[in-house]
Amino acid sequence: MSKREAEGCPQKNVIDHDVRDHLSSPVIKAFKVFQQELDTKHDKYERLVKISRDITIESKRTIFLLHRVTSVPDVEDVLKEADGKLDGVRQKIGQIANELRGEDLYQFHRAFTPGMQEYVEAVSFQHYIRHRSLISLEEINARLVFMKMEKADSKDSLEALPLGAQVVTFQVMPSDYLLGVADLTGELMRLCISSVGNGDIDTPFQLSQFLRQIHDGFSYIGNTGPYEVSKKLHTLRQSLGKVEDACYTLRVRGSEIPKHMLADVFSSRTALIDPEEGVV
């Protein structure tokens, strides 16, 4: 902040002089109020950006954790651990909700949208692994209800908010949900490839079907959505292509060998050779 001040006004002594001159003038008084108002707003924005970054990092870690499901014997353990991590993320979202109490959600949307997208990605990824279906917006929002913990950071009496007493909720915006789901497809593609590597021949087909549904959904929305959607649609197509190719390969090789032996072929292949071999 001080650095900015310094570069903003090179003639330091002139200001001091000026300020002293009109210190009591109505204009200066008004600008002091604006200064406070803007600083409060910028501070809040920065705090939100910071929380959002933390959410992004934790969500990314959760996703990495979830990718291990292909290689561990007990899927449930991983999912439980992911649950724990996601609870931590939700705590942070609770902080965002706290900051935004009495504020216009959209005024600060840009500060926390990356974090929310990442959270949607993580939570929907976990949901898919567990239930093999797409988590709905309501299901996500239903888990974002927080009890207000501490009253420590009640700053200005401006937002004392007598009515919002105990429960704070946070609503994921549909656009954030949409973008998060678009990111999810990339993770699903990775999951598909690595499960092929592990000789799992059912998951790729399930995934390709699921991805196709999502792709159809995005095509249905088309360009009515936010601008970023069209960019992500391109990546989605690439992911879908990769998954479909993998399924194609599985099918072709599968036709050469009797069905009941296919699993053996894949698992022995991956055991012997580089797992990447199975992908191509």
200 three-state secondary structure:
coil
Q: Given the complex with other proteins, which of 210 and 266 has the nearer CB atom?
A: 210
Under the binding rule (CB under 8 A), the answer on residue 165 touching other proteins is no
180-199 residues near other proteins, rule: CB under 8 A = none
Distance CA 51, CA 85 (A): 15
Where helices occur in the chain by DSSP H, the ranges are: 2-8, 12-21, 26-67, 75-99, 109-131, 137-142, 174-197, 203-221, 227-256, 259-272
CB of 261 to other proteins, least distance (A): 34
Q: Given the complex with other proteins, which of 217 and 241 has the nearer CB atom?
A: 217
**In this structure, what DSSP letter does residue 102 have?**
T
Distance CA 243, CA 51 (A): 34
* Residue tagged 């900051």 (tokens): 99
Under the binding rule (CB under 8 A), the answer on residue 152 touching other proteins is no
Question: Residue length, the chain?
Answer: 280
Under the binding rule (CB under 8 A), the answer on residue 15 touching other proteins is yes
Kindly tell me which residue out of 152, 153, 224, 256 binds other proteins, with binding defined by CB under 8 A. 224
Distance CA 34, CA 26 (A): 12
**Integer angstrom CA distances of residue 24 from 19, 20, 28:** 9, 8, 7
Distance CA 245, CA 211 (A): 13
Under the binding rule (CB under 8 A), the answer on residue 178 touching other proteins is yes
Kindly tell me which residue out of 152, 153, 220, 280 binds other proteins, with binding defined by CB under 8 A. 220
Q: How far apart are the first and last CA of the chain?
A: 53
Pair 100, 111: CB distance under 8 Å: no
Q: Given the complex with other proteins, which of 78 and 135 has the nearer CB atom?
A: 135
Kindly tell me which residue out of 6, 13, 24, 31 binds other proteins, with binding defined by CB under 8 A. 31
Under the binding rule (CB under 8 A), the answer on residue 143 touching other proteins is no
Under the binding rule (CB under 8 A), the answer on residue 216 touching other proteins is yes
72-91 residues near other proteins, rule: CB under 8 A = none
Strand partners, 169: 145
Q: Given the complex with other proteins, which of 53 and 253 has the nearer CB atom?
A: 53
Residues lying near other proteins in the complex (CB under 8 A): 1, 4-5, 8-9, 15, 18-19, 21-22, 25-28, 30-32, 34-35, 37-39, 42, 102, 104-107, 109, 133-134, 136-138, 174, 177-178, 210, 213-214, 216-218, 220-221, 224-225
